[in-house]
Amino acid sequence: MKTSNEYYTFIKCQNSNDKFTTFLSTFKNPHYTTKFDSMWKHYIFTGTTLPQSGWKGHIACLPQDMKKVFKIVYNLLTEEECTFKVARSKEVYKALNDPHTSVTEANKFITFYPENDSKFRRIIKKLANTLSNFKAPTIFTDYQLPNYSPVQFRYGAFKELKKWDEVNKKFIDLMTLPNGTITEDNRDEEFKVPDSVTLPFFKSDSSWLEDTNELDNKNISKYNFISILSQKNKGDVYLANHKTKKVIIKSANPFVQNSITSSSAKQLLANESQFLTILQNSGTVPKLLDRFTVNKVDFNVTSYIDGVSLDAPIASKKKEEIIYALCDTVYKLHSRNIVIGDLTNSNFIFSNGTCYLIDLEYLSFTYQNKYREGYTPYYIPYNHSKTQLSQKEDIFSLAVSILAILIGNLPKYNSHDISNAIKALKREIYVASSIDTNNLELYLIVNYLLNLAKSDNLYAPEQIKNIQSKIKPLDKDILKRSKYSCHKLINILNYNQNKLIDKISNKNLLDKNDFQIKWWQSNEFGSQISPLSIQHGVIGVNCALGRPAIHNLNKLRNIIQNSLNFSYNDSYLFGSSGLLWELGYNYRKGTLTTKDFEKAINTIINSWNVTNTSIDFALGTAGKLYSLIFVLSLVKEGDMTVVKMKAKTLHDSLLKSVLNDQHASLSTTFDRINFAHGLAGTAYVLLMSALMFNDHKAFIVAKNKLKYIDNFLAQNLKCDSNFNNYMYFSWCEGISGIGDALVRAQSILNNKYKSIPLIYSCLIKNCLKLDGCWCHGRSSIINFLSDLFVRTNDTNVYHHIFMISLYEISTALNFKNNTLKFIDETGYLHTIDFGVGQVGIMKTIIDALSKKDRLFFLDTKQEQQLSQKFFSSSYKTK
């Protein structure tokens, strides 16, 4: 299950301003330049050139000390002419100090960058003295001065330097060592001195430096630690052995608290200990075995429960038993007048017929009237994140948890209040129950719980006792009544698309910066890719919105030149090949002459990297060739001979590579046969270029490769209900893309691929496990279905397009104003990008519901024309 991300608090606080921001504005120094980014206010000393890496310091503090600590540190750092940054607002500080924050980010209130070791040493010693009366939480990656000093430090990067890790699909932070070596700047490790680096202190400094070795303690030494199950700012969770039995050990770090009124990490663990004792004979929680403190860190030791976490993939045959057990546990707790407070799937384990609550930090009694501190997105709407805790809100969270078990993904909605959240969830239940008909009664339980949560009547725990008996036969009719029309969905989509177009037009964003800078912010990978690209750039967004990205072809050469320093700068998905589609769509509209069209295409081709050895669709030869086939199919026979010669060269190269079985291995699922990086994409493109160039040898090779893929899938496609790697179902690396290739080839070759029905069934069965995304998410499935429908006109296929589109819109629709905010693959962001964000999702659904061909692919007419020409020629030859 893809749950909401631990960095959600960082998203909510970005670009925030509050009283602390105003307080910062009163500190001015003529020798400093200040600037804001989304999280920090930077104070840059004028004229200083910082090295790429070095010894840098951090200051942590308690919430009540923010202003006092900043004033002291500001005065000292400006006196030392040192560049630094500080959390821009109290909201940012609260996110950084949240008990649930990742240890790699936590507690960094101020960061300072001395340009040499001597200045670093001097500042550290001064800060140690001036802040000696303050206490602070530990920064995981740093060395903290003794007695929980606010002053902490590490060796690391001053300026951003990254590289893309193709295997793990993430960026790696880099730093430069004093000897010039570039190495990883690992923020997932505790403090250590890198190789070839020495601590910049003298022997005389040892009076305030301590050995970093862990203290030996009899309470800890009696446990054999096996593994770390979780690491958060509040503390760690360990699996350990005590004598012959496994145990769970939780720790609570001192001084971790993000506001004066919130509970500290130690208070949360103490609350858990209290309720473990109260509930020790209830059969709903682990046994508390031990509790002790070492060096101000508190520890709880509980019994180990061997079972299945409720946020793990769950087999269909186990779902009913687990759901009833979960309801029974909630009933038992509620009947004791307990409010759970943070009821989520990850807080329960199922074992031997019982769901055990394993996280009790936020439990309270109903009569305590406590306010919510623990907030996990989507388990309760955001407007309720600070409300008084209630059992009725637990019921809403219980409904979400059960729906998550049923669909294999956390259900989403675009609402801050329970009433509209329930509207969205009921639509999602309607779709899910129509796909998963075997579990209708379980969806009715979700519906029943949502009705309880929104009811004006008082809630009583008896209402969920033996919950299966509460479902009446007539309730089954509720989920059979469709109130949703295709016409209404298209109107909502068009309204939102036009709003986005108006926003762009009003800001004159289409002419901005000649594509050097995008007008929106992409995810981390997208920010490193050419702003031209289909996936993350203006070509993808503006073509999807039907607005030209290029207004002046005289600027084309400069536009391309500005993109050459980016990775994959000439590729279909990430580079200048996308411009061919932009130009082609404009030419088709009649806004370009054939002469200008050809000139522009040659400008693009001449910029391509001749040393690029990749052959795949997304990054290499196949994608560039496919883009040329697209533009050539738009012009008359005999036109663009130079372009056609280039395309023929690429065709010959691709044929040779496919014959030699050369395929990239950048993917994580179907490795060598997927569409973006494997055989499916190259074989489909080779088939199309064989048709264009009347190459019978290439035609046979492509046909055989596609048959091989079909046979491979027919034998190896696994579609278990508990399979949870979302890339398995995607366009780029999964069966949606492979299915696209086979559906298109099947239409051209007039044969039947036996794996297509298997792919279809598997995608429908698992479509709700994904979040929205053109490349990696649910839009991949809609595009597969759309490709299939426009070639078969199968009404059952269109029904599934409609139902999945309805589900997608339900996750994004604000019922108050009919605006859409589609959620991307992260589960909490709303990036604009065509490939991974809102525009791609919106365009996919509009075209699929309107029964149109998809964007950035040959349409059915173009494929048929190429096919007819090839087979007509073959017939004449015979």
Residue 775 assigned ligand-binding role: yes
What is the Cα–Cα distance from 34 to 549, expressed in whole angstroms?
Answer: 34
256, with CB counted inside 10 A (0-12, 13-18, 19+), is: buried
Give, as one character, the DSSP assignment of residue 593.
-
CA distances from 81 to 48, 70, 109, 119 (A): 9, 16, 19, 10
Residue type present at position 247: V
Q: How far is CA 648 from the centre of its chain?
A: 39
Angle at 57 between CA 56 and CA 62, to 5 degrees: 155
Say which residues have a Cβ less than 8 Å from residue 237's Cβ, sequence separation at least 6.
228, 229, 230, 231, 248, 249, 250, 251
Phi first, then psi, for residue 413 (nearest 5°) are -155, 155
Both tokens of 184, joined, read 């990883």
Rounded to whole angstroms, the Cα distance separating 325 from 720 reads 23
Residue indicated by tokens 């009705």: 451
Give the span between the Cα atoms of 100 and 3, in whole angstroms. 14
CA-to-CA separations, 483 to 131, 479, 813, 815, in angstroms, rounded: 64, 10, 16, 15
Pairing relationship of beta strands 40-45 and 143-144 according to DSSP bridges:
unpaired
- 776 annotated ligand binder: yes
Alpha-helical segments (H) within 408-555: 418-435, 440-454, 486-506, 538-544
Secondary structure letter of residue 371 according to DSSP: B
For residues 767 and 784, give the distance between their C-alpha atoms in angstroms, rounded to a whole number.
Answer: 12
Distance from C-alpha of 863 to C-alpha of 853, rounded to nearest angstrom: 11
Q: 381 CB contacts (<8 Å, ≥6 apart)?
A: 413, 415, 416, 417, 418, 421
Three-state secondary-structure class, residue 125: helix
Q: Is the dihedral of CA 734, 666, 230, 174 positive or negative?
A: negative
Asked whether residue 800 is marked as a ligand-binding residue, the answer is no
The pair of structure tokens assigned to 124 is: 């550290």
User: Two tokens at 843?
Assistant: 């365009």
- What secondary structure does DSSP assign to 128-183, as a single string? HHHTTT---PPPTTSEEPTTT-SEEEEEEESS--EEEETTTTEEEEEEE-TTS-EE
Q: 805, exposed or middle or buried, with CB in 10 Å at 0-12, 13-18, 19+?
A: buried
Annotated binding site: 732, 775-776
Annotated binding site for Zn(2+): 732, 775-776
